[in-house]
Structure 1
Amino acid sequence: MRSEELFIGGQWSKPSTAERIEVVSPHTEQPVAQVAAAAPADVDAAVAAARTAFDTGPWPRLEPAERIAAIRRLGALYDGRRDQMAQVITSEIGAPISFAARAQVGLPAMMLTAFCNLAESYPWIEVRPGMYGADVHIRREPVGVVAAIVPWNMPQFLIATKLVPALLAGCTVVLKPAPESPLNALLLAELIAESDLPPGVVSVLPGDGAVGEYLVRHPGVDKVSFTGSTVAGRAVAAACAADLKRVSLELGGKSAAIVLEDADPQAVAAAVRSASLSNSGQICNALTRILVPARRSEPFTDALAVELSALTVGDPADAATQVGPLVSRRQQERVRGYIDTGEAEGARLVTGGATMPDGVDTGWYVRPTLFADATNSMRIAREEIFGPVLTVIPYSDEDEAVAIANDSDYGLAGSVFTAHPERGLRVAARIRTGTFGVNQGYTMDPFAPFGGVKGSGYGRELGREGIDGYTDTKSISVAAQG
């Protein structure tokens, strides 16, 4: 892996400074690699290459079919390195290897194909009859140079949701991975280099928040696509607004699982465990508020406790591990602080807690934790914890459950569980979120748009809408003949 260089404009280049990013294993707490850190001069070089490639290069001017073929070639290269990519992600962020292979790498591989399929039927050029007899030609054209900024928790998945549709649309991209997880992005850069995209089309610049801010504010960037915290998202939105720059934001969540009285406790517990704890709870659309009918709260709480207590916590490189460490000591301390806060606020600790898991001596681990008898006003019910902590909140009837679910600063995802799917659809229509599931945790379907409302951001990724976000719509009226 090319760790001493930066991938600028499709070529490996010496960085402008000697600064390095140290990547530390969340499991051993020991360094696993050092990589070159980008500085403002490197951002300038990458944006200049992207600007030239967009303004005068071939990529935006290729037929869509040619760009699709190029991305399919990249997908074939990606398939050949999936095992290596999963191992890299496990080493740098501590994701269990089974989850890394299935979701961290499997989903991006699937999306490469899915986006290409969508692009083949996408209406790049459409002709409509105008009101006055003229034909109206609708062209969907690339928005320009894209700054794609991704966090550490699902790095390849989040890169794919931005990079692939942007490239298919004809944009050029400067990608900034998080400093906690640069290795997988550099491995992807190697594959991009092998795929022979035109010069300037893609750059990969590992860097800290200051580098991200410089990239966002760069006058050569036409659109910013950002995934991260709501606090950081507000700053990105403000910076883009100053220059009237296009921006899409996929931010935090505090999603609710509404459990109706006719749902099966074991099925609910299994679905919630899968949807909320697969990445040690470090998932923006995790179901962390579990709303249960007050008169049947005990069987649902007990079933959840059994699921959480049975999870295997430990070495993420072990195929049997279900819950690995959190990404950093800071995150571990933050999540433990929320557990202490939950107890202090009066929620009942059912299982887990702020101590290390049994049999684990090192690493940034937190025990899978379940609170019950909570209220929606508690901090553990209102704030995004981003760890393996679930909170059970009782409700009296369906209307109150809907009110509790909507009483949140966030609006990313959610679910309803019921024996009657048509009732679930009626409940889903009442919840103010961008995405929702009936009898499942929200599934990241590459054909379904994903995104939030309120403090969870705006814009959509995945589906046809994922390509829409990287296009401008131009209408051309052609006068009628004769």
Structure 2
Amino acid sequence: MTVQNVQSFVAGRWIAPGDDARQIASAIDGQVIAQAGGAALDMQEVLDFARSTGGPALRKLTFHDRARMLKALALELNKHKDALYEISYLTGATRSDHAFDIDGGIGTMFVFASKGRREMPDGQVYLDGSPEQLGKTGAFLGQHICTPLLGAAVHINAYNFPLWGMLEKLAPTLLAGVPAIVKPATDTCYVTELAVKIMLDSGILPAGALQFIAGGVGDLLDRLDCQDAVSFTGSAATALKLRSNPRLLGNAVRFVAEQDSLNASILGPDAEPGTPEFDLFVKEVHREMTTKAGQKCTAIRRILVPEDRIEAVSDALAQRLAKTVVGDPRDEATRMGALVSKGQKADVLARVAELGAEVQRLCGNPDDFADSAGAFLPPMLLLCADPDGAQRVHDTEAFGPVSTLLPYRDLDHAIALANRGGGSLVTSVITHDAGVARDVVLGAAAYHGRIYINDRTSMKESTGHGAPMPHMIHGGPGRAGGGEELGGVRGVKHYMQRTAVQGSPDMLTAIGGTWVPGATQKDGGAHPFTRRFGVLEIGETIVTAPRTVTLEDIAHFAEFTGDTFYAHMDDAAAKRNPFFPGRVAHGYLLLSFAAGLFVEPNEGPVLANTGLDNLRFMKPVSAGSAIHVRLTVKAKTPRNADYGEVRWHVTLLDQDGDKVAEYELLTMNAA
């Protein structure tokens, strides 16, 4: 077999492994398949290239430009999935495992691309919340904004997900406008290298946006400052070593860690044998023990079961595990492949030995694979009969196909046991009792980054205990590292600086690209509904003529709609209400009149009214009052080449100039 030279890509060039390169063996047969590292890389050059070339190029792009870039990268990787599958078999992963790593990673990029277009502006400043009025008149405001860090993001990834582990960090980083320096675990870096080559060869990324280090990072961390960030996935011991770097501490370098996690799954007290929840629980545990040969940071390590159901659960699990075919991941009959390396296999067996005094093995004999040339182990189900007296089962993680059954007396006991993990990425509860679910959340949420609840209602659509979703945060407190990744736009903010900006409405409008109430209003010279998306300007405003609201209007609206609430129909009853001076107009009548005042009726660039946000009724309107409307272009968001979304700030005022109602109208306008 030809030994692959895994190259680093830094400062715009590929660099081959050095004389001291580390050899990498196939997980399947132990044969050397690649070598990586050992090259003398100038880490200052790496950083300078990211900061001076990659960063400026990314920051010139808008969030929407970067989102389109992510989508293009995901499509490019999708075209090469078969090649990624083929090389990933050598890590011990089966075809179904590829769905988690390769398909999951590409899917994550698609999600961030979509969220970037839907939830972020077509600009370079992200507004974090609404403006805060800091003075009496509204002439002095505050606004929180987020802008990209001016340094680089260093991504140090684990061996178990060579593609997803890179892409789940890379997507929010690039969307933020920050260049990435990716360092994968050496054992599986050959998979990551192929994906990096695919992305770089596509020509989609600007120079310096992505660099790749095969091997060690040398003195890279010693060169970071407050504009850089480190995102790490791996062991707690390594995380502690890295985050303790004096340079990181002294410069307050952002450090996000996702590390050891003794995740638990709780079988609800209601989930008796024969119920859908019981069967679901057994299925979930089996899947988490065998997917990626248990090498998942979210895998179930502790199985919490009511005392009287330990035998039923252990029997059901043992039967499923006995049918799990372990072998060459390329074989279609295989249901669980190998661990990533013989070194990792030895580590798992060492951790199982540490657990030995507190547990008994119910199934799975590692001696069955003692003579294998590959890194194979059977799934091993353990039982800890005394979870209160035990310690190792709550602090020692065997990072492989190993899980331990623990009996609990009642739900409070189960929650306490789950929390003894010292902080986890995820705990699940399988129950059809909403009260049980609520109690687990209230009792365990503080110790867990995610709580996964499943039952017969959601089981067909649920994504699984061990599947982090890009929409939701991935991380956990304490032992799990105290960090958060993913979570949609929340993940993007890790690579941005939140800044409080204070000034006049005009200043905040200019900075954020969104009209702020009180800022200058512009006259576009024509009704804004007659102007196409591309020519409408932020702040463009019309003020309509007034319309007088009559008692007949109120009565007609009540009869026509059936809304005969007493405040609109009975003057005496309305006066007894502390909010009304007497009989008043319907709020939705006022909205209808407002539309009649500002709508341009003829065919034009306004294609559709898609809704309204933040509606507030501020002053009741009695018969005889005259209302008029002020309509202002607040924000514009392109949706495609044919049309874009316009957000209008709408204010209804009465004859005294008092605000009657306020809301934001959304329309789709032709480009």
Residue identity over aligned pairs, in percent, reads 26
Q: Is the partner of 1:419 in helix, strand or coil?
A: coil
- Confirm whether residue 351 of structure 1 aligns to residue 363 of structure 2: yes
1:107-150, Cα deviation, whole Å (9 max, x unpaired): 01111110011112136433514222223343311123110110
**CA gap 1:113/1:362 in 2 versus in 1, 3 angstroms:** same
The aligned residue for residue 223 of structure 2 is 218
- Tell me the distance in 1 between the aligned counterparts of 2:372 and 2:5: 30
TM-score in terms of structure 1 length:
0.92
Runs of 4+ in 1 over 4 A off after TM superposition: none
- Confirm whether residue 52 of structure 1 aligns to residue 52 of structure 2: yes
Question: Are the aligned partners of 1:339 and 1:353 in contact in 2 as well (CA < 8 Å)?
Answer: no
- Say which of 379, 388, 398 aligns to 1:368: 379
- Confirm whether residue 6 of structure 1 aligns to residue 8 of structure 2: yes
- Confirm whether residue 199 of structure 1 aligns to residue 207 of structure 2: yes
1:49-107, Cα deviation, whole Å (9 max, x unpaired): 1011256x32112111111122211111111011111221221x21113212x111010
Question: Are the aligned partners of 1:375 and 1:381 in contact in 2 as well (CA < 8 Å)?
Answer: no
Q: Which amino acid aligns with 1:217?
A: D
Question: Are the aligned partners of 1:73 and 1:195 in contact in 2 as well (CA < 8 Å)?
Answer: no
**CA gap 1:348/1:214 in 2 versus in 1, 3 angstroms:** same
Q: How does 1:217-366 map to 2 (within 5 A)?
A: 217-219=222-224, 222-239=228-245, 240-263=248-271, 264-343=277-356, 345-357=357-369, 361-366=372-377
Measured after TM superposition, the shift of residue 438 of structure 1 is: 0.8
Question: Are the aligned partners of 1:292 and 1:393 in contact in 2 as well (CA < 8 Å)?
Answer: yes
My pick for the range that moved more, 392-401 or 345-354, is 345-354
1:218-268, Cα deviation, whole Å (9 max, x unpaired): 236711011110111111221122321111111110011111232243321
- Tell me the distance in 1 between the aligned counterparts of 2:142 and 2:4: 49
1:282-333, Cα deviation, whole Å (9 max, x unpaired): 1111111011111221111111111211111000122332211112222212
- Say which of 458, 463, 473 aligns to 2:498: 473
- Tell me the distance in 2 between the aligned counterparts of 1:309 and 1:381: 26
User: Unaligned stretches of 5+ in structure 1?
Assistant: none
Q: Which amino acid aligns with 1:426?
A: D
- Tell me the distance in 2 between the aligned counterparts of 1:454 and 1:477: 36
> Looking at CA atoms only, which structure, 1 or 2, has the larger radius of gyration?
2
Q: Which amino acid aligns with 1:200?
A: G
Q: Is the partner of 1:171 in helix, strand or coil?
A: coil
For these two proteins, the number of residue pairs brought into alignment is: 472
Q: Which amino acid aligns with 1:348?
A: Q
Q: Which amino acid aligns with 2:403?
A: L
- Tell me the distance in 2 between the aligned counterparts of 1:323 and 1:38: 35
Q: Which amino acid aligns with 2:95?
A: I
1:360-402, Cα deviation, whole Å (9 max, x unpaired): 7321111111112433324244311101111101111111111
- Confirm whether residue 136 of structure 1 aligns to residue 142 of structure 2: yes
1:432-453, Cα deviation, whole Å (9 max, x unpaired): 1111211252432221111110
- Confirm whether residue 112 of structure 1 aligns to residue 137 of structure 2: no
Measured after TM superposition, the shift of residue 357 of structure 1 is: 4.2
The aligned residue for residue 162 of structure 2 is 155
- Tell me the distance in 1 between the aligned counterparts of 2:185 and 2:40: 14
**CA gap 1:374/1:153 in 2 versus in 1, 3 angstroms:** farther
**CA gap 1:404/1:22 in 2 versus in 1, 3 angstroms:** same
Question: Are the aligned partners of 2:378 and 2:401 in contact in 1 as well (CA < 8 Å)?
Answer: yes
Q: Which amino acid aligns with 2:65?
A: E
Question: Are the aligned partners of 2:17 and 2:37 in contact in 1 as well (CA < 8 Å)?
Answer: no
Q: How does 1:59-74 map to 2 (within 5 A)?
A: 59-74=58-73
The aligned residue for residue 443 of structure 1 is 467
Q: Which amino acid aligns with 1:370?
A: L
- Say which of 100, 120, 124 aligns to 1:103: 100
User: Unaligned stretches of 5+ in structure 2?
Assistant: 272-276, 455-463, 507-517, 519-671
Q: Which amino acid aligns with 2:70?
A: I
- Tell me the distance in 1 between the aligned counterparts of 2:358 and 2:206: 59
Q: Is the partner of 1:138 in helix, strand or coil?
A: strand
Q: Is the partner of 1:280 in helix, strand or coil?
A: helix
The aligned residue for residue 408 of structure 1 is 421
- Tell me the distance in 1 between the aligned counterparts of 2:443 and 2:51: 44
Q: Is the partner of 1:187 in helix, strand or coil?
A: helix
Q: Is the partner of 1:274 in helix, strand or coil?
A: helix
TM-score in terms of structure 2 length:
0.67
**CA gap 1:357/1:311 in 2 versus in 1, 3 angstroms:** farther
- Tell me the distance in 2 between the aligned counterparts of 1:480 and 1:334: 60
Q: Is the partner of 1:247 in helix, strand or coil?
A: strand
Measured after TM superposition, the shift of residue 36 of structure 1 is: 5.0
Q: Which amino acid aligns with 2:367?
A: T
Q: Which amino acid aligns with 1:130?
A: Q
Question: Are the aligned partners of 1:72 and 1:116 in contact in 2 as well (CA < 8 Å)?
Answer: yes
- Tell me the distance in 1 between the aligned counterparts of 2:244 and 2:266: 34
Q: Which amino acid aligns with 1:98?
A: S
